[in-house]
Structure 1
Amino acid sequence: MLNELEQTKAELQRVHMEELKRMERMATLGELATAVAHEIKNPLAGISGAIQVLREDMSEGDPRREIITDVLQEVERLDKTIKDLLMFARPKEPEMMKTNLKELIERTISLVNIKARKQEVEIKTQIKDLTLNVDPQQIQQVLLNLLINSLQAMPSGGVLIITTSHDDSNCYITVEDTGHGIAPEDIPNLFRPFYTTRGRGTGLGLFISKNIIEAHNGDIDVESTPGKGTRFTVRLPV
């Protein structure tokens, strides 16, 4: 009996020490992320402004305009990476306010409409008119992350479905795609920081999304079938 208690105590101490080490590593990563992001942020803003001026000076038929547009898109991607790093290093407390969920989702969809059309992805919605007490900017960030992930899973076309439902206690937002799906071995790691199944990206989008939803006293779940598609479900209290 004493041996079992000692073994249990030793195991608890080991787990506690591992958690402390993990937290120290995360704190160090947070400090590093903040330093790197601040070093890049201002020069990148200057580069973006200069490129936009160059593009405006070019005629619509100028073949260089397409190259400049591609460069600008890469700059915007880097800017998003910096924002992700800062959000990882300094997560903000949600600023709750009454928010029309239908309007918020529709605004978020409008941000990816052009990309969806280019990829021949059809967006379908079934959204209820519901008001929630949330931080609209943070929830929009979560939705945008999920929509972008779905579009990246369907480079050659497909269907993206956004639905909402609710009961007496919770609202559910589902983002479902007909993309290539996620391998079963990747599912447990999806919400870990810096974990990505793609060659590009920080691997912070889903980690940040999970933290945001949990700060709203909700949760986020994923189901996926390789070759058929993926479904993310966000639960938020009503």
Structure 2
Amino acid sequence: MDFKYINSNILDNLFYILVSIFWFFVLFDYVKKFKNYKKTLITTCTGLPIILCMKFPIYIDQYCIHDLRQIPLIIGTLYGGWPVGAALLMILLACRMAFYGFNFLTLIVYFVIFIATALFSTRFKKLNKKNRLITSVLLTIFLDIVTTWLAVNISTVFVVTEAYIFYFLLLPPVVMFFTVYIIELLKDAIHIRSRMVKFEKMEVVSQLAASISHEVRNPLTVVKGFVELLKAPDLSQEVKEQYIQHVVRELNQAESIISDYLAFAKPATEKVETILIEREIRSVIEIIKPLANMNSVKITDQLLPGTVLGNINHFRQGFLNLMKNGIEAMPHGGDLHVISFVEKNNITIKITDNGVGMSKAQINRFGEPYYSSKEKGTGLGSMVVVKTIQTMNGKLEIDSVQNEGTTITVTLPAYIQEHVKRGIQLKTEF
């Protein structure tokens, strides 16, 4: 035997089988919500190649033709069970009669294939990938030998030729091996995708929990600072009341943060407000001062009036994170300088420290969750900053030299009444 038996008809039959298998997995996600979807889909996707293989067979010679119809019959019965196998057998026999007329030998041969495969299908489903490959090939070889023996004993004109050995005994097990291998490969891909979806959901939950913990820590740190200041014995009642107001405000801020993150999984359109840059930045500076004092950091500012659109709570939280990062970058004390100015239609805010600085790698990864240059950092604070600025249609730039300091420049579009008239709207997804 040589490659003279390999022809375009064999490739056509292989094409019908493999394309039908691929279509099964393509359609699988779309029809699984329907009752009995799987058996119906298996019957359809294995019944079609049976019909096509019989309609466009392999011509052995002018007196004999063959096709690979038994492959989808066996595949469908193994994976779908006896109901699918029975439906495929009916399709096969009906098409055989329609194309070539009734033949008793064909009826016996394929009935035997169906019975043997149906009896083995339950056990087949419990096997692992490797054993399915092996047993499907062995089953095909066994059925080829049994049906050949039946044909020799039932038909008086049946002759086993070299071409018959190739097409009936050698080719089907090889095709079966590759078909089952592809099916198992695609099943693994679907299983992995399903696990990845679950993993991503768990990752979101993990990020949400860690993010809540991180963001709530900021106002609690401020509260702790003011509580420490309240212990001073020489405080006037007026100063105490101011400190208490700061504590209440930060606790309300913590409550707001928790509410925002709990609504993260089902976001709604957030409230967009007019933000007065000078007032809000000074408010953040007042909040962060106790932390700065504890770290021997002096905060100076040079702020000019300006207005932007956005969510005030997110804006405060974002710049609180930036200033807190600057203070923590100066463990031995230093200066934190905050300036703002209007340039054309943009408002620029710069936060400069003379701390440890950042490397290029750290700058490039700024804003990634769970990445932080701090030993106990989560990176979620910088993630909130980046998301807030993106939501406000702004941009963030970092200029840093290690052991010299860092300057973070935030540029936001200034709020001008003409913008509203022209229909320019802010992104409101956070």
Query: TM-score range with shorter-chain normalisation?
Result: 0.5 to 0.7
How many angstroms apart in 2 are the aligned matches of 1:111 and 1:199?
A: 24
- Higher Rg of the two aligned structures: 2
Match of 1:162 in 2: 338
Q: Give the counterpart of 1:143 among 312, 319, 323.
A: 319
Per-residue CA distance 1:171-190 (angstroms, 9 max, x = gap): 11111100010122221111
Whether 1:109 and 2:285 are equivalent positions in the alignment is yes
- Judged with a 3 Å threshold, the aligned counterparts in structure 2 of structure 1 residues 120 and 166 are, in CA distance, closer, same or farther, namely same
Alignment CA distance shift 1:123-1:27 (3 Å): same
Q: Distance in 2 between matches of 1:115 and 1:187?
A: 24
Q: Please, what TM-score do these two structures have when normalized by structure 1?
A: 0.66
Q: Which residue of structure 1 lines up, in the alignment, with residue 295 of structure 2?
A: 119
Amino acid at match of 2:313: Q
Matched to 1:30, the amino acid is: V
Q: Secondary structure at the match of 1:145?
A: helix
> Normalized per residue, which structure has more helix?
2
Equivalent residue for 2:144? none
**1:115 deviation in Å?**
1.6
SS at match of 1:122: strand
Q: CA deviation at 1:160?
A: 0.2
The change in CA–CA distance for 1:197 and 1:116 in structure 2 (over 3 A counts) is: same
Q: Secondary structure at the match of 1:138?
A: helix
Structure 2 match to 1:185: 361
Q: Identity of counterpart residues, as a percentage?
A: 24
- Kindly tell me the number of residue pairs found equivalent between the two proteins: 186
CA deviation digits over 1:91-149, x for unaligned, max 9? 77542112211110011001111121222211110100122222111111110000000
Structure 1 gap ranges (5+): 1-19, 62-75
**Match of residue 261, structure 2, among 74, 86, 94:** 86
Q: What secondary structure sits across from 1:186 in the alignment?
A: helix
CA apart distance, 1:60: 7.9
Judge conservation of contact 2:398–2:408 (CA < 8 Å) in 1.
yes
Structure 1 residue runs of 4+, over 6 Å off? 35-38
What residue in structure 1 maps to residue 118 of structure 2?
A: none
Aligned partners of 1:133, 1:147: CA distance in 2, in Å? 21
Query: Equivalents in 1 of 2:262, 2:321: separation in Å?
Result: 13
Q: How far off its partner does 1:28 sit?
A: 3.7
Q: Which moved more, 1:94-103 or 1:214-223?
A: 94-103
Matches of residues 40-119 of structure 1 in structure 2 within 5 Å? 86=261, 90=265, 93-119=269-295
Q: In the aligned structure 2, how far is the partner of 1:229 from the partner of 1:198?
A: 15
Q: Quick one: distance in 2 between partners of 1:26 and 1:146? A: 28
